[in-house]
A = this chain, B = another copy of it.
Amino acid sequence: MTHKTCKNVRLPIWICLLMTLTMQASFAQGKSTYMRMAKITVDSVHLSDYLVALKTQMQSALKVEKGVLAYSAVQDKNNLNRITILETYASVAAYQAHIQTEHFKKYKATVTNMVKELELTDVMPIAVQSKQR
């Protein structure tokens, strides 16, 4: 076997090894992901202010915190004051770090008198998938 042939064989092996490690890392992250669902009823008088505070918090968290992975925040069409937020963190530790951040504390302080009801539920993923674009 020439030196050149060896190099040709080694490259695919290294690529396979790298892909395997990447897939394992991705799988491990999926296994430890921490998800929660927040059901919130907002005082209609404060709805527009609440939405500004919520969006600001989510954008800051996604931008600054490595462990904040995703937010899906929606309003009921027939009752815009009813909001559902599906939150995904890299781990429980990432969530605990999140609630200690300045942007989260600012959000909580801002909305404390705007929120009429808050129900938090720990959830686990069955499937979270979107179309590849």
Q: Which residues of A contact B (CB under 8 A)?
A: 35, 37, 51, 54-55, 58-59, 62, 68-78, 83-84, 86, 88, 121-131
Contact = CB atoms under 8 A, between A and B. Distances in A.
Nearest to A68: B131
A126 B77 contact: no
A83 B84 CA distance: 14
A62 B129 contact: yes
B55 A74 contact: no
A123 B75 contact: yes
Contacts of A84: 37, 86, 123
A35 B86 CA distance: 14
A129 B71 contact: yes
A41 to B, nearest CB: 14
A126 B58 CA distance: 11
Contacts of A73: 125-128
Contacts of A124: 74-75, 77
